[in-house]
Structure 1
């Protein structure tokens, strides 16, 4: 049986937990990891749509998480739309393993 989708309160709590575990992350970056953990979004365009954000802002945060922070692994990018699919890297998995649903 699959878990029900997370509500706003759960999302914010998980975002806060990620931010506490990784204090150098912005709220948006922590939110991307929280959404990944809660299975709310696994690509930049979906995250932007679900949370009503500009796709360019989400792409910038995804790039930071994949590059400098090393918490995401980029899996695919659509050359036309720039939709970027991602998953947690080994370092990201280690952070997310500290969270409880």
Structure 2
């Protein structure tokens, strides 16, 4: 079980879709097909939590990452990070084994 699946299970979340979003040629999420798909799903109200391993999984560029997560937040989506060191950023402590 991956850290993301453990986090979802610990919170009682159902994983609705796994989206592969490789960086490609840009670290700007808005230019990646996977991130655009996530944005479309968020706009449709398909999910309320995005689980990713690290904030840098969204983008290593902090400003790009904030723009991307703020765009999701406009649709009520909150990112959660499954890397244990990032647990404090997930809003609650989650024990992963």
Q: Shorter-chain TM-score category?
A: 0.3 to 0.5
TM-score normalized with structure 1 length: 0.31
Select the structure with the greater relative contact order (CA < 8 A; seq sep ≥ 6): 2
